[in-house]
Homo-oligomer: A and B are copies of this chain.
């Protein structure tokens, strides 16, 4: 029998993520929302699934029931999904502009931008399926030229 806790086991899950997939009610509608924000879908996209390149990872849009089925989970669910996404900006005033753009593209404002206890400024919008996005100015987390975020060392 294999030891459950092997001595010297080399864990091999690198510290990274490849894709986030959002389960959506209407893939076309959701695609148009992100395209209205100026995003370009990958050529790998099809009618039933859409991909956006985000730095070294990707965002997928896929039918909610199909996504649950793929994970062998019951498709039912309601209320807060327990995950938020965040888009950090370079300047404080960008938070308001991005929240405005998201609403013009069909998103819903969840929380107007405000000063927050950790020293930044942030608000939230929801995409057409209610997936919550924070838009934040966080002077403690550096953003590179390419938009990559670097946590304190």
Residues of A within 8 A of B (CB): 4-5, 9, 11-23, 36-40, 42-44, 51-59, 64, 67-68, 70-88, 94, 97-98, 101-102, 104, 110-111, 124, 129-132, 134, 136, 140-141, 143-144, 146-153
Contacts and interface: CB of A to CB of B under 8 A. Distances in A.
A55 B87 contact: no
A87 B151 contact: no
16 contacts: A9-B104, A12-B38, A16-B55, A17-B57, A17-B59, A18-B86, A19-B88, A20-B20, A44-B152, A51-B151, A56-B149, A71-B124, A72-B110, A72-B111, A75-B80, A77-B82
In the assembly, how many copies of this chain are there? 2
A104 B2 CA distance: 12
Nearest to A39: B15
B124 A72 contact: yes
A37 B12 CA distance: 8
A18 B18 CA distance: 14
B21 A83 contact: yes
B151 A58 contact: yes
Given A44-B151, A56-B148, A72-B111, A82 B22 contact: yes
